[in-house]
Amino acid sequence: MVQMGDQEDRLDLEAEIYDDAIMVPAGTWHNLTNTGDMSRVIVHPRLFSGGD
């Protein structure tokens, strides 16, 4: 299950996850909960654009 929102104490979106991956927009508070019986791996890539 994933929960997301614009404030730490206001995670308004809550959804079950059935895909292999999810995308959390930058600056979004989020919480991921494994509700299944299989272990999961969380990968947190850092993407940088442009800049000097």
pTM attached to this predicted model = 0.69
Report whether pLDDT(12) > 60.
Answer: yes
Domain ranges for the chain, please list them. Answer: 1-52
Number of residues assigned to the chain: 52
Report whether pLDDT(5) > 60.
Answer: yes
The pLDDT tens digits of the residues spanning 23-37 come to: 888 889 999 998 888
Would you state the torsion angle of the CA atoms of residues 14, 16, 18, 23, taken in this order, to the nearest 10 degrees? 20
Q: What pLDDT does residue 50 have?
A: 55
Report whether pLDDT(17) > 70.
Answer: yes
Residues 52, 49: Cα–Cα separation, whole Å: 10
Two structure tokens written together for 3 = 């929960």
Q: What pLDDT does residue 47 have?
A: 61
